[in-house]
């Protein structure tokens, strides 16, 4: 686990980039929960920290695809892209990272491969 920042340094709704061993990861806070995921959208690689949170999803700023923060799955495509072909709409899953809060700091496991979210105080 890598120490990232103080938990109170992340405002509700905020997202920012961190770089760990040349890997860019987004850290954010949504509904009081710390979340971490790959910096790039699995659709066409837009920076997700320029998007926003909605319901339980992160919304990509480029085509508004929504990825579930519990599973990383694509769960919604904006209606304005319904006419696009299936190949264009295809997207992989968003990779999520495990985070832990301990002694007021956020720790992240950059090698975690599941979508498990653990929060300890
Ligand atoms: S690049 Fe993210 S939805 Fe297309």
pLDDT tens for 10-24 read 999 999 999 988 899
The whole-angstrom separation of Cα 32 and Cα 78 is 26
How many domains in the chain? 1
Nearest ligand 1 atom to alpha carbon 44: 1
Whether 30 maps to a domain, the answer reads yes
Q: Do 108 and 95 form a contact (C-beta atoms < 8 A)?
A: no
Whether 70 maps to a domain, the answer reads yes
Q: Which residue has the higher pLDDT, 112 or 50?
A: 50
Pocket test for ligand 1, best of 42, 54, 60 (most atoms within 8 A of CB): 60
Q: With 0.85 as the threshold, say if the pTM is over it.
A: yes
Whether 117 maps to a domain, the answer reads no
Q: Mind giving me the DSSP string for 59-76? A: E-TTT--EEETTT--EEE
Residue-number span of the structural domain to which 97 is assigned: 2-109
Q: Which residue has the higher pLDDT, 121 or 85?
A: 85
Q: How far is the CA of 6 from the centre of ligand 1 (A)?
A: 30
Q: How far is the CA of 80 from the centre of ligand 1 (A)?
A: 13
Whether 116 maps to a domain, the answer reads no
Q: Which residue has the higher pLDDT, 121 or 24?
A: 24
Average pLDDT over residues 72-89: 95
Beta strand pairing status for 57-59 and 74-76?
unpaired
Q: How far is the CA of 35 from the centre of ligand 1 (A)?
A: 19
CATH number (domain holding residue 66): 2.102.10.10
Give the pLDDT confidence of 16-72 residue by residue, as tens digits.
999 988 899 999 999 999 999 999 999 999 999 999 999 999 999 999 999 999 999
**Residue 88 parent element (H or E):** helix 86-89
Q: Do 53 and 13 form a contact (C-beta atoms < 8 A)?
A: yes
Whether 80 maps to a domain, the answer reads yes
């Amino acid at each position: 686990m890598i120490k990232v920042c103080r938990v109170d340094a992340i405002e509700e709704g905020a997202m920012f980039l961190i770089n760990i061993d040349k890997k860019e990861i987004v850290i954010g806070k949504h509904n009081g929960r710390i979340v971490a995921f790959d910096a790039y959208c699995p659709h066409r690689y837009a920076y997700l920290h320029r998007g926003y949170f909605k319901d339980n999803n992160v919304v990509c700023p480029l085509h508004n695809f929504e990825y579930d923060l519990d599973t990383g799955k694509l769960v919604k495509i904006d209606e304005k892209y319904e006419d696009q072909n299936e190949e264009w709409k295809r997207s992989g899953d968003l990779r999520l990272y495990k985070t832990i809060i301990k002694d007021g700091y956020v720790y992240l496991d950059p090698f975690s491969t599941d979508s498990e979210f653990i929060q300890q105080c």
